[in-house]
């Protein structure tokens, strides 16, 4: 099965719900609606032709300029049967970042979701133990969001203008 | 009982003991804390706490030019940092579309397989220590030292290597490095056999490790296990074969697999992988010799010419030539263009699939960089694996999983 056939199979099963399907650097990327994440994951898991039964990675990306879809949750799936990788993305608003947990389907998703919650504040609905994992429990913000700059803003010798991509956060 | 101490009824009735294992316990080899609920010597449940040495690498990476991220990757799995360095270089090369020459690929393979050997030696000899056999540990650490001397000859540093650059290496391998590799290849098999003869069929070691800390292939896959831990459970998934990088497809080697996924199987799989790594290094040296015999100019190939824009100029040029100095300054200040794009690229690390998920928006630094850290992902299976086992078995299980605190906590 090629990447195109995987995308076609998914499109047939979830007509009109997928967007931004492309294949680059040997991996297909598909954007799915946030509410349908478990249905798509389960479909890919159960499909005898594809068998996407290995969750390689789960993380998030913050795009502050995308209004109402600031947070992007990214799943990297691997089908050991086809030896193909697949990237699923879904966007949720930063004000109410609710995504259904995949930890029932993949035990390995448990800590990956906790890490994503810890750094981005994505609320994985139904997660058995959604609390901070790498940061201290008392922390009251989500540090990987783009509004938290890396350098101390009062230090002029560490001006982002010189080191990063300019003074703005993105 | 003193009148001042008020214990609630439930705690007096409690049948189990709470035991705090770690975070700085000599048997945990790193900062791992587990709050164990014990029924006598048996573990009823375990709650692991991680994050003691979290250093925010992913956040730091968003403010560092690409080449400054290599030293961050050193500090993930510091037992095999060259693999992490090269995994990062390969990721950026794939994004930029740089194709490395065969000689660079083979040199990389040599370094990566040496670090795999060093990584496996640490892990396997420490299993011996945790079962009470210190001798084997001392025997093989001499060879780990030899490997570090090779790294030192190639790049100047030993543990956190920052080895190589985008497109290849910062300088050609000196003859000294090849001499040391050949010396290692000659001396190591004897030491390795000695190590195996001390442990592999040792009755006490077998009794301590067989049937301990096992996991089924199905559960291991569900927990996203990778590396020797997955292979010990019987799944032959290895990134080097499944999705080859750095010309691994040119090499002939086996992927050892176990059956039960217990501590003993992990130990055997790693030992076998060391032998396979040795054979890969020998093949790589032969291939390099063949390349050089066919075309003597190959001797000077240590980086991809098309990666010129991303490659720091030689130091002697920086000190003597103005253009080189300007270019060096530009690079250090991060003024190199990386096209927008998104990539996930993985290499087979010492303890599993090390993945880099990189999003570039065309700026000087990554927009987002996520490290897939294998031991962070498989450590969550630890409570399930050790449930019902003895405390002493839990310690052996932990060391056999090859947990590296630096990688776990990022």
**Residue B391, domain member (yes or no):** yes
Give the nearest partner residue to A107 out of B59, B222, B355, using CB atoms. Answer: B222
- Interchain CB distance below 8 Å, A56 and B235: no
**Residue A99, domain member (yes or no):** yes
Omega within 30 of 0 (cis) for the link into B23: yes
**Which backbone phi and psi does A29 adopt, to 5 degrees?**
-125, 130
**Residue A165, domain member (yes or no):** no
Q: Is B385 exposed, middle or buried (0-12, 13-18, 19+ CB in 10 A)?
A: buried
Q: Write out the H or E segment, with its range, that includes residue B86.
A: helix B81-96
- Interchain CB distance below 8 Å, A107 and B381: yes
Residues 6+ apart with CB under 8 A from A31: A18, A19, A20, A21, A88, A89, A90, A91
> How many CB atoms are closer than 10 A to CB B173?
20
Name the pairing type of β-strands B33-39 and B42-49. Answer: antiparallel
**Residue B1, domain member (yes or no):** no
Q: Are B270 and B79 in contact (CB under 8 A)?
A: no
Q: Give the Å distances, CA to CA, from B245 to A14, B77, B104, B112, B242.
A: 34, 19, 12, 12, 10
Q: From chain A, pick out residues whose CB is under 8 angstroms from the CB of B95.
A: 25
Rounded Cα gap, residues B115 and B281, in angstroms: 11
DSSP per position, B191-207: HHHHHHHHHTT-HHHHH
Q: List the single best residue of A73, A138, A160, A164 to mutate versus B (max B Cβ within 10 A).
A: A164
- Interchain CB distance below 8 Å, B342 and A151: no
Give the nearest partner residue to A134 out of B54, B223, B235, using CB atoms. Answer: B54
- The dihedral through the CA atoms of A114, B222, B382, B277 has a sign that is negative
**Residue B33, domain member (yes or no):** no
Residues 32-51 of chain B whose Cβ lies under 8 A from any Cβ of chain A: 50-51
At B67, which CATH number? 1.10.645.10
Q: Give the Å distances, CA to CA, from B79 to B24, B123, B159, B211, B402.
A: 19, 9, 7, 27, 10
Smallest CA–CA distance, residue B337 to chain A, in Å, is 12
Query: What pLDDT is stored for residue B136 in this prediction?
Result: 86
Contact status of B222 with chain A (Cβ, < 8 Å): yes
pLDDT < 70 stretches in chain B: 1-3, 5, 7, 11, 334
**Residue B91, domain member (yes or no):** yes
Q: Give the Å distances, CA to CA, from B380 to B47, B78, B384, B401.
A: 10, 21, 8, 11
Q: Give the Å distances, CA to CA, from A162 to A151, A157, A165, B58.
A: 12, 9, 8, 20
C-alpha angle with apex B164: A74 to B88, nearest 5 degrees?
Answer: 5
Adjacent-strand bridge partners of B52: none
Q: From chain A, pick out residues whose CB is under 8 angstroms from the CB of B51.
A: 132-136
Mean pLDDT (chain B) is 88
Q: Are A6 and A85 in contact (CB under 8 A)?
A: no
pLDDT, tens digit (0-9, with 9 covering 90-100), for B186-239: 999 999 999 999 888 989 899 989 988 889 999 999 999 999 999 999 999 999
Q: Give the Å distances, CA to CA, from B107 to B10, B77, B120, B395.
A: 63, 21, 20, 37
**Which backbone phi and psi does B238 adopt, to 5 degrees?**
-140, 125
Smallest CA–CA distance, residue A158 to chain B, in Å, is 11
Q: Are A133 and A108 in contact (CB under 8 A)?
A: no
Looking at the 3D structure of chain B, how many domains does it have? 1
Q: Write out the H or E segment, with its range, that includes residue B329.
A: helix B322-332
Q: Is the backbone of residue B168 left (phi > 0), alpha (psi -120 to 50) or beta?
A: left
Q: From chain B, pick out residues whose CB is under 8 angstroms from the CB of A115.
A: 376
pLDDT < 50 stretches in chain A: 165, 167-170
Closest CA to B282 of B106, B54, B103: B106
Beta strands in chain A (DSSP E): 19-24, 27-31, 54-62, 71-79, 84-92, 98-100, 123-125
Contact status of A33 with chain B (Cβ, < 8 Å): no
Give the nearest partner residue to B355 out of A29, A56, A107, using CB atoms. Answer: A56
- Interchain CB distance below 8 Å, B51 and A83: no
**Residue A49, domain member (yes or no):** yes
Q: Are B113 and B280 in contact (CB under 8 A)?
A: yes
Looking at the 3D structure of chain A, how many domains does it have? 1
- Interchain CB distance below 8 Å, B341 and A61: no
Range of the domain at A83: 3-143
Give the nearest partner residue to A165 out of B222, B365, B379, using CB atoms. Answer: B365
**Residue B20, domain member (yes or no):** no
- Interchain CB distance below 8 Å, B342 and A164: no
Q: Which residue of B has its CA nearest to A87?
A: B344
**Residue A88, domain member (yes or no):** yes
**Residue B24, domain member (yes or no):** no
- Interchain CB distance below 8 Å, B344 and A57: yes
pLDDT, tens digit (0-9, with 9 covering 90-100), for B174-190: 999 999 999 999 999 99
- Interchain CB distance below 8 Å, B377 and A170: no
Mean pLDDT (chain A) is 85
Rounded Cα gap, residues B361 and B378, in angstroms: 31
At A44, which CATH number? 3.30.460.80
- Interchain CB distance below 8 Å, B370 and A115: no
Range of the domain at B305: 56-409
Residues 91-150 of chain A whose Cβ lies under 8 A from any Cβ of chain B: 106-108, 110-112, 115, 119, 132-136, 143-144, 148, 150
- Interchain CB distance below 8 Å, A108 and B365: no
**Residue A32, domain member (yes or no):** yes
Residues 6+ apart with CB under 8 A from B270: B120, B123, B124, B228, B402
Residues 53-82 of chain A whose Cβ lies under 8 A from any Cβ of chain B: 53-57, 59, 61-62, 74, 76, 80
């Amino acid at each position: 099965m090629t990447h195109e056939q995987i995308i076609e199979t998914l499109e047939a099963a979830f007509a009109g719900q997928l967007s931004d399907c492309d294949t680059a650097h040997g991996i297909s990327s598909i954007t799915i609606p946030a509410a349908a994440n478990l249905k798509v994951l389960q479909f890919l898991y159960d499909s005898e032709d594809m068998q996407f039964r290995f969750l390689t990675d789960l993380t998030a990306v913050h795009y502050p300029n995308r209004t109402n879809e600031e947070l992007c949750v990214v799943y990297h799936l691997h089908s050991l049967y086809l030896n193909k990788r697949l990237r699923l993305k879904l966007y949720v608003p930063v004000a109410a970042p609710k995504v259904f947990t995949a930890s029932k389907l993949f035990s390995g998703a448990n800590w990956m979701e906790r890490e994503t919650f810890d750094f981005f504040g994505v609320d994985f609905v139904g997660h058995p133990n959604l609390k901070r994992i790498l940061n201290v429990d008392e922390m009251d913000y989500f540090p990987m969001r783009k509004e938290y700059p890396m350098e101390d803003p009062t230090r002029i010798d560490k001006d982002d203008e010189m080191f990063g991509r300019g003074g703005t956060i993105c | 009982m003193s009148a001042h101490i008020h214990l609630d009824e439930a705690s007096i009735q409690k049948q189990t003991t709470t035991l705090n294992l770690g975070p700085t316990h000599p048997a945990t080899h790193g900062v791992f804390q587990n709050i164990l609920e014990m029924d006598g010597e048996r573990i009823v449940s375990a709650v692991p706490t991680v994050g003691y040495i979290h250093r925010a690498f992913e956040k730091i990476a968003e403010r560092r030019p690409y080449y400054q991220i290599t030293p961050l990757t050193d500090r993930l799995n510091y037992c095999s940092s060259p693999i992490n360095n090269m995994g990062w270089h390969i990721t950026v090369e794939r994004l930029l579309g740089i194709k490395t020459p065969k000689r660079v690929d083979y040199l990389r393979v040599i370094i990566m397989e040496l670090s795999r050997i060093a990584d496996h030696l640490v892990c396997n000899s420490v299993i011996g220590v945790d079962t009470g056999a210190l001798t084997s540990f001392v025997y093989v650490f001499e060879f780990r030292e030899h490997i570090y001397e090779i790294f030192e000859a190639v790049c100047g540093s030993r543990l956190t290597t920052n080895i190589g650059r985008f497109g290849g290496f910062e300088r050609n391998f000196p003859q000294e490095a090849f001499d040391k590799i050949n010396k290692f290849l000659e001396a190591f098999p004897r030491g390795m056999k000695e190590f195996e003869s001390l442990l592999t069929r040792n009755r006490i070691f077998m009794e301590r490790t067989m049937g301990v800390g096992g996991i089924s292939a199905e559960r291991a896959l569900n927990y996203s296990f990778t590396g020797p831990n997955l292979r010990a459970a019987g799944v032959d998934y290895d990134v080097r074969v499944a999705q080859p990088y750095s010309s691994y497809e040119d090499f002939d080697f086996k992927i050892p697999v176990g059956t039960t996924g217990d501590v003993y199987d992990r130990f055997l799989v790693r030992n076998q992988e060391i032998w396979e790594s040795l054979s890969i290094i020998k093949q790589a040296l032969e291939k390099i010799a063949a390349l050089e015999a066919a075309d003597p100019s190959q001797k000077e190939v240590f980086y991809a010419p098309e990666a010129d824009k991303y490659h720091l100029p030689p130091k002697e040029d920086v000190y003597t030539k103005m253009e080189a100095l300007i270019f060096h300054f530009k690079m250090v200040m991060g003024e190199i263009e990386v096209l927008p794009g998104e990539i996930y690229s993985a290499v087979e690390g010492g303890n599993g699939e090390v993945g880099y998920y990189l999003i570039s928006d065309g700026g000087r630094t990554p927009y987002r960089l996520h490290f897939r850290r294998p031991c962070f992902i498989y450590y969550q299976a630890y409570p399930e694996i050790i449930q019902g086992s003895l405390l002493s078995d839990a310690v052996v299980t932990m060391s056999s999983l090859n947990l590296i605190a630096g990688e776990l906590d990022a």
